[in-house]
Amino acid sequence: MCEEKHWNSSQLRRYDLQFEQIPRIHYTDPKIDELISANKPVVITGSNIIKTARDHWTPEYLEQNLGVAGHTVFSSKTHKFKYFDDSKISKNNLNGIEFIPPTRKCKMRMGEFMKKLREWKPGNDRLYLQQPLNNTVGPLIVEDFAHFDWEYVNKRQAKHNWGPLTSNLLLISQEGNVTPCHYDEQQNFFGQAYGYKRCILFPPSDFECLYPHPVFHPHDRQSMVDFDRPDYVKFPKFGNAKGCETVVEPGDVLYIPIYWWHHIESLMRGGPTVSVNFWFKGGPTSLSYPLKDHQKVSITRNVEKMLLEVLQDPKEVGPLLRSMVMGRYSE
Ligand code: OGA
Ligand code: ZN
């Protein structure tokens, strides 16, 4: 069978890196569980996991049925929506440099959001709705959600020892929006309901190539590298990152393993997109050696957190680490 392609490469943003393709595998194929077990990404095709969303969740249907509650909408002056943690802002007058949030968060009703999308013109702020599904959604959305293929999802959760489902984030994006490269501390089944998104993933072992902000920075878990204009003087190893990519289409579910970096872009000139993810806590971790790469990331995070705890000041963390390492562990 020959798959029809509904997009072309001119709709993809251009970066300095080259990427391998993430495998696309039919949901009945046991290779999917092998990849999940190995903490490797895979696009699950042909499944009914989010079939009801794929069949129904156009922006117009969501406008009619999402409910009248306010939803969280981010606005940005650029195409990038770099996430930040509000709770880490006040403490973080890092080296006297004030943190300027790159996006603004507001509450908006779905009708108002869709009106702004329809009337949007270049020069306006871009918008991105990101709202966990909750009990304020209308009855048709509840019905669609109830008819997700929970059996398939729950089987994967049990088989791979994931913790509980923590949330399903609904993402409604304008074309061309980018979620810059970051990692999450959760397992993710990322379901694409409407439109096309390009997802670029990097393994946890690329930690050194992607230069995450310090853990106490509002941009914790985000790469400091601007993919549009990488600063190779500050981030010389960026070019060594070993990424893989895919373009997810309606009905696809991409497995994003815990601690894997991901950059996600709605295709340019592709219209709005709708995604719904499934975030699960990681399983209980037993430390058996050799440690897995994502466990090393977790340990690094804890060391950073402990040092901040005892030193009390983010400015002191770097100098202490440097004095510990220089001449003793360097070389
Ligand atoms: C995620 C994520 C961003 C996006 O699901 O973890 O980062 O733009 N999504 O879809
Ligand atoms: Zn994410």
Kindly state whether residues 181 and 321 are assigned to the same domain: no
- Three-class DSSP category at 103: strand
Of the listed ligands, the closest to the CA of 132 is 1
Q: Which ligand is nearest to the CA of 276?
A: 1
Distances in Å between the Cα of 204 and the Cα atoms of 17, 183, 251, 286, 296 are 17, 9, 27, 18, 9
In a domain? residue 147: yes
Cα(264) to centroid of ligand 1, in Å?
6
CATH code: domain of residue 323: 1.10.287.1010
Determine the Cα–Cα distance for residues 25 and 70; give it in Å rounded to an integer: 37
Which of residues 248, 265, 284 is at a domain's end?
284
301 and 221 in a common domain: no
Residue 234 lies in a domain: yes
Are 287 and 164 a contacting pair, CB within 8 Å? no
Each residue's pLDDT, cut to its tens digit, for the chain (331 residues) gives 566 789 999 999 999 999 999 999 999 999 999 999 999 999 999 999 999 999 999 999 999 999 999 999 999 999 999 999 999 997 555 566 789 999 999 999 999 999 999 999 999 999 999 999 999 999 999 999 999 999 999 999 999 999 999 999 999 999 999 999 999 999 999 999 999 999 999 999 999 999 999 999 999 999 999 999 999 999 999 999 999 999 999 999 999 999 999 999 999 999 999 999 999 999 987 788 999 999 999 999 999 999 999 999 999 999 999 999 999 998 7
Ligand 1 proximity of 185 Cβ (cutoff 6 Å):
no
Q: Quote the crossing angle between the two packed helices 293-311 and 314-325, to the nearest 10°.
A: 120
| Burial call 149-165: b when 16+ CB within 10 Å, e when fewer | beebbeebbeebebeeb
Question: Ramachandran region of residue 52, left (φ > 0), alpha (ψ -120 to 50) or beta?
Answer: alpha
Q: What is the DSSP letter of 94?
A: G
10 Å CB burial of residue 83 (0-12, 13-18, 19+) is middle
Pocket of ligand 1 contains residue 277 by CB under 6 Å: yes
Q: Based on the domain organization, do 19 and 139 belong to the same domain?
A: yes
Same domain, 197 and 140: yes
Would you say residue 6 lies in a domain?
no
- Expressed in angstroms and rounded, the spacing between residue 158 Cα and the centre of ligand 1 is 23
Indicate whether 5 belongs to any domain. Answer: no
Residue 54, domain member (yes or no):
yes
Domain residues for the domain of 309 are 290-331
Q: Which atom of ligand 1 lies nearest, measured to the CA of 190?
A: 5
Q: Is residue 8 part of a domain?
A: no
Whether residue 298 lies inside any domain: the answer is: yes
**Three-state DSSP state, 65:** helix
Q: In terms of domains, do 274 and 310 share one? A: no
Q: How far is CA 96 from CA 12, 59, 317, in A?
A: 38, 43, 15
Pocket flag, ligand 1, residue 174 (CB < 6 Å)? no
Q: Into how many domains does the chain fold?
A: 2
Q: Both 169 and 57 in a single domain? A: yes
Residues 191 and 317 in one domain: no
Ligand 1 centroid distance, CA of 190 (Å): 8
Q: Is residue 43 lining ligand 1, measured as CB closer than 6 Å?
A: no
Q: Is residue 171 within 6 Å of ligand 1 at its C-beta?
A: yes
**Distance between CA atoms of 182 and 179, rounded to whole angstroms?**
8
Task: Say yes or no: CB of residue 273 within 6 Å of ligand 1.
Answer: no
Q: Locate tokens 């709202």: which residue?
A: 131
Shared domain for 215 and 314, answered yes or no, is: no
**What's the whole-model pTM score?**
0.96
> Do 324 and 182 belong together in one domain?
no
Does ligand 1 lie within 6 Å of residue 193's CB atom?
no
**Within-domain flag for 4:** no
Same domain, 245 and 173: yes
Q: Are residues 306 and 187 in the same domain?
A: no
